[in-house]
Amino acid sequence: MEATFVGADVSKDWLDVHVLPTGERFRVGNDDVGITELRERLSRAAPERIALEATGGLERLAVAALAGAGLPVVVVNPAQVRAFANALRKRARTAPIDAAVIAAFAAAVRSQLRPPLPPSATRVLAGLVTRRRQIVQVVMAEQHRLRSASSRQALKSIRRLLAALKRELEAIDADLDDHIRESPLWRVREKLLPGIGPPAARTLLAQLPELCSLNRRQIAALARLASFTRQSGKWRGKSFIGGGRSSVRAAFFMAALVSIRHTPPSRHSAIASPPLESPRSSSSQPCANCLQSSTPGSGTINHGKA
């Protein structure tokens, strides 16, 4: 019997579903009623893979319901699906067409099954860390406006908003402290990240939960801190980093930058940039060891003050 693969295009209000090889198509609402119907229909079909694109969190309700029912659901990268569609010369984009492309992608790639959603406590921590980052960005924008504002009324408005944002930032920091104190594992992991401040450490805990379960090279690749080689024949192009966990890179960059500027061992490592040693770390090593030598100059980041 031929294996069944399902692709679902996710929007705010709808889930457009395509089933291969039967070609069946249907639409359900992206709400409790629609997802219950989707779960029942797919349970009867017994698919080998159910693929949904990552859509900024709109897919989480469906993914949680399908995974809770024991169905083999995976969340796929939209960029990879679009590249697959281009390879198939699928230029048109509608919800039914996208669902069919996702189903074909699932059949061709057969993505490895993994937990589609992190534990609820990790999702809460990630949400708080993301919200803190958003508020910090707004604060920075308002501070820039404060320097250029000329009217007294505008200055008063900006200062009032900055005061409110500062209070909200303090409240989120308090929520983060309480949330981390509730988990003995997070308290231990935070202590294993010496030399970097709470914002950077909490970003790593929330946005990189694989920390301490992978070796340093795997962690660097996951955060896309490992550059991509670009070579063809005699041509040697520049290597770049990109994609992956950009929020992790941003937090780690600031910690590394402060360490390089203010800690002599880190400054020397950044200038010398010695070649990386062979990976000897195992999945059971502490978090600090997982991060060491991921990037040139970061091997001594633990001495920094970021």
Q: What is the pLDDT of residue 114?
A: 67
Q: What is this structure's pTM?
A: 0.60
- Paired tokens of 92: 């048109």
Q: What is the pLDDT of residue 277?
A: 40
Is the separation of the CB atoms in 279 and 294 below 8 Å? no
Q: What is the pLDDT of residue 294?
A: 43
What one-letter code names the amino acid at 119?
P
**Rounded mean pLDDT for each run of 10 residues along the chain, 306 residues in total:** 88 92 91 91 89 86 86 88 90 90 90 66 84 93 91 93 94 88 71 71 80 77 78 84 77 77 60 42 42 41 37
- What lies within 8 Å, CB to CB, of 224 at 6+ separation is 241, 242, 243, 244, 245, 246, 249
Q: What is the pLDDT of residue 295?
A: 42
Q: What is the pLDDT of residue 189?
A: 67
Beta strands 73-76 and 49-53 are parallel
- Paired tokens of 258: 């402060």
Letter string b/e over residues 2-33, b meaning 16 or more CB atoms within 10 A of that residue's CB: eebbbbbbbeeebbbbbbbeeeeeebbebeee
**Collapsing DSSP states into helix, strand and coil, what is residue 17?**
strand
Is the separation of the CB atoms in 90 and 102 below 8 Å? no
Q: What is the pLDDT of residue 124?
A: 84
